[in-house]
Amino acid sequence: MPDDETDLAPGTDDAAGLTAGTDAGATVGTAGTPGATEVVETAPVPVPVLTAPRDGTPDVVTTQAALDAAVEVLAGLEGPVAVDAERASGYRYGQAAYLVQLRRADGPITLVDPVARLDLTGLAAVLDGPEWVLHAASQDLPCLAELGLRPRSVFDTELGARIAGLPRVGLAAVTEHFLGIGLAKEHSAVDWSTRPMPASWLTYAALDVELLLDVRDALEAELERQGKLGWAREEFAAVAAAGPPAPRVDPWRKTSGVHKLRSRRAQAVVRSLWAAREELARSRDVSPGRILPDSAVVAAATAQPRTTAALASLPVFSGPANRRLGQYWLDAIDAAMALPEQALPGQAPRGDGPPPPRAWAERDPAAAVRLVRVRDTLAALAAEHGLPLENLLTPDTARRLAWDPPGTDAEQVAAFLGGRGARAWQVGLTAAPLAEALVRAASDPLPEPRARRSTPVVTEE
C-alpha cells in the first residue's frame, strides 16, 4: 500500500480507489471573552475510503488452469494468508461458501468460485501450514472445511480486536482504527450464489482481504503493547481447534413464537410444519424462512385449519406460492392432528445447566447472592483489563460456578473453570478473584423471596 494513500484531499479519488469519507475526531473553536473557557466543538475529519483494491478487482477463478496458476503464485510467496469466504445466508439452505478470497504477502488477490467444482487439493496443500488471517474466523471456518480447506493456525482480527478493547470490531471499523482507512461495505447481505456475480460485489469481496494482513500486523503490535498477545494466541488456537457444533436437540423449538403456544397439539403442528419446511428447503436449496416464515408456522399451529381453504385464509398462506403448496402444508398439519396423546411433544428437555437466573432467588437464595458477587467481580476485572465481559469468561460458566461452586479455594475454582473450557489466561485472571467473591457471598444477606407466580400449564389440545 503506497505511503501517501492517506494524504488525500477531501473528495478526491486516486488510482488505488480511495475516496474521502468523514469521521468525528478533530476539534475546532475560538477563544471567547477574556477569562472564559474556550468552546471546542467536534468537526468531521476526512477519512479515506478504499473503494477498490490497489491492483484492481481480479477475475474470478472458474477453471482448473486458472486455479493451478493461482496456487503456484501463492506457493511462491511467504508469510500468513488472508482468507475470507462469502455465503448466501438467508438465501440458500445451509452455510456453504460461494466465494473464497485469498491474499498472501504483496501478491495478487485470488477469488475462487467453489460453485465451479474445481479440484482444490493443490490449494489445500498450499494453505496447510501458513497462518490464516481471518476476520470472525468462526463464521468462515466451517464452510471452508466443507471445501477441504483447514488451517493449522489462525489469527482472528475480530477476536483480537475484542481482546484489545476496541469499541467497534467490524472489519471496516478495525481497519479504520489501525490504518486510518475506511472500507466500502455495501454488499454484505447479498445473495452470493448469484451467477454471474456483479463486478461491484467482487470488488467488495476483494476489499475484505486487501488490507487484512496490514491490520493483522498492526493489531499484533497493539496486543503486544497491552501484554495481551499471549491471551489472543490462546483464543486463536481454540478457534482453530474447534469442531462443528453439536446438533441441536429438537431444533423446531427455536421457531420464533413457539413459546407462546401452550397446547401440546399446537406444538406438534409446529414440529410437523417445521420438518416439512426443512425437507422442502433442503430439496430446493433455499433458506427455510424464504419458503415459509416462522410467523406463518405459528399462525397455522394456532388456527389448526383442516381444509386448504381455511389454510389459505391465513396470512402468507394466501400467497400464490403457498397456495400451490396448500395440500403439502395441510398434510403436515393433518399428520400432527392425528397423533395420539403419547406422541405429542412434552416439555422442552432441560439442559444440564442451572435454571434461568430469574428463578434463583426463590429456588436457591444463596446461589442468587453468589451470582451477584460473581457478575460484579467479572465486570470489574473486564473493565480493569479493557475486555468485553463475554470474552473474559462465558456467561454460562459464570452461572454454573455460582449455582454449584466446587468450593471456595482458588485452586478448586481454577480446576472448575478449566474443566468448563476456560483458557489458561482466563483462569489466571479470574480464579482467585472469583474464589474470594464466593467467600464474600457466604456472608451477604439473602434476597427476599418474590411472590410465587403460577406456571402456565401445557395442555394436550
What are the extents of the domains in the chain? 3-50, 60-241, 252-343, 357-441
Q: CA torsion, points 241, 79, 207, 140, in degrees to nearest 10?
A: -10
Domain 60-241 has CATH 3.30.420.10: yes
Looking at residue 24, what is its pLDDT?
44
pLDDT at site 350: 77
Q: Are 130 and 76 in contact (CB under 8 A)?
A: no
Checking 381-384 for CB contacts under 8 A at 24+ apart, the result is 381/429, 381/430, 381/433
Residue type, 227: G
Beta strand 132-134 with 154-156: parallel, antiparallel or unpaired?
A: parallel
The rounded distance, in Å, linking the Cα atoms of 83 and 76 is 17
Q: Choose the weakest-confidence range: 68-82, 148-162, 233-247.
A: 233-247
- CA neighbor of 355 nearest in space, from 342, 371, 344, 343: 371
Classify strands 110-112 and 60-61 as parallel, antiparallel or unpaired: parallel
Q: Which of 257, 178, 266, 263 is nearest to 215 (CA)?
A: 178
The pLDDT of residue 9 is: 31
Q: Grid coordinates 413459546 are at which residue? A: 259
61 to each of 100, 104, 120, 370, 460, how far by Cα in Å?
10, 16, 12, 57, 57
Q: Say what the alpha-carbon torsion angle 245, 248, 252, 258 is, to the nearest 10 degrees.
A: -100
In the chain, pLDDT over 90 holds for what percent of residues?
A: 82
SS3 (DSSP) at 374: helix
- What stretch of H or E contains 378? helix 365-385
Which of 6-10, 195-199, 304-308, 411-415 has the weakest average pLDDT? 6-10
Cβ atoms of 371 and 361 closer than 8 Å: no
Q: What share of the chain is helix, strand, coil (3-state, %, to 5)?
A: 50, 10, 40
* Nearest C-alpha neighbor of 427 from the set 231, 239, 157, 240: 231
Residue 102 has φ and ψ, to the nearest 5°, of -140, 145
Cell digits of residue 105: 504477502
Is the model more confident about 237 or about 45? 237
How far CA 17 is from CA of 2, 23, 187, in Å, comes to 12, 18, 17
Backbone angles phi, psi at 42, to 5 degrees: -80, 135
Note the pTM of the prediction, 2 decimals: 0.86
pLDDT tens track for 406-450: 999 999 999 999 999 999 999 999 999 999 999 999 999 988 766
101: enclosing H helix or E strand: strand 97-104
pLDDT of 354 > 60? The answer is yes
Burial of residue 213 (CB within 10 Å: 0-12, 13-18, 19+) is: buried
- For 322-344, how does the pLDDT look when each residue is reduced to its tens digit (9 = 90+)? 999 999 999 999 999 999 999 99
- What mean pLDDT value characterizes the chain? 90
CATH class of 252-343: mainly alpha
The H or E element spanning position 441 is: helix 424-441
- Give the N- to C-terminal CA distance of the chain in Å, as an integer: 67
CATH, range 357-441: 1.10.150.80
Q: Do β-strands 41-50 and 182-183 pair in parallel, antiparallel, or remain unpaired?
A: parallel
Number of H helices, E strands in the chain: 20, 9
Two domains, one topology: 252-343 and 357-441: yes
Element (H, E) at 43: strand 41-50
Residues paired with residue 24 on neighbouring β-strands, in sequence order: 44
Torsion angles phi and psi, residue 309, rounded to 5:
-65, -45
Q: How many CA atoms lie within 13 A of 196 on its CB side?
A: 8
Question: Looking up cell 481454577, which residue turns up?
Answer: 414
